[in-house]
Amino acid sequence: MNINYEYGLDIKDVDELIQIYHDNGWTGHDQEKVITIFNTATHVIIAKYQGKVVGFARAMSDGVFNAAIYDVMVNIAHQKQGIGQEIIRKMLTYLGELYCVHLIATTGYESFYRQLGFKKLKTGMAIYTNEKLKDEYTD
C-alpha cells in the first residue's frame, strides 16, 4: 500500500478528518472544531491513500523543550496496517530534538505507544473538566 504523508492541513480534507473521528467514536468533532485544532497545532501529519485521508496526528510544540501529540487516528478500514506507527515515527522526526514528547493514550492503546518508545510517567498529572474523561484517565 502506497501511503503519502502530508504536513499541514488542507481545508478540503476537513470532512474526511471528521469522518475518521466519528468512525472511531469521537463524535464531538465538527467542522469548526477540527479547523481550529488543526490550524492551531504546530505540527500536523495527514496520511493519504489514493488521495483519501486514512490517518492523521497533530502536535503542539515549543520547538525547544517539549511537545504533546494529540489525536493519532487511523480510518477503521486501514487500521493494523502500520499506518499509525508510521504517523508516530514521522511525527517524532518532524518534532525534532526535544527534551520530552508527551502523549496521552486512549484507553487500550498503551501497548501500541510502548512499542514505539513511549514510557509511562511517574509524575504525569492532568485536570479534566469532562467527567467521563476524568473518570477514564485519572486516579
Q: Which domains does the chain have, with CATH numbers?
A: 3-103 (3.40.630.30)
Burial of 104 (0-12, 13-18, 19+ CB in 10 A): middle
Nearest partner of 58 among 67, 12, 66, judged by Cα: 67
Whether residue 1 has pLDDT greater than 90 = no
The whole model's pTM is what?
0.93
What spatial distance separates the first Cα and last Cα of the chain, rounded to whole Å? 41
User: What is the predicted pLDDT for the residue at 131?
Assistant: 95
Taking only the tens place, the pLDDT of each residue in 13-44 is 999 999 999 999 999 999 999 999 999 999 99
CA 40 – CA 83 distance, rounded (Å) = 24
Nearest partner of 90 among 1, 5, 17, judged by Cα: 5
Show the beta-strand stretches assigned E in 28-133: 43-49, 52-61, 66-74, 100-103
User: What is the predicted pLDDT for the residue at 12?
Assistant: 97
Instruction: State the cell numbers at 83.
Output: 499506518
CA 82 – CA 5 distance, rounded (Å) = 13
User: What is the predicted pLDDT for the residue at 18?
Assistant: 98
CA 88 – CA 7 distance, rounded (Å) = 13
Taking only the tens place, the pLDDT of each residue in 103-123 is 999 999 999 999 999 999 999
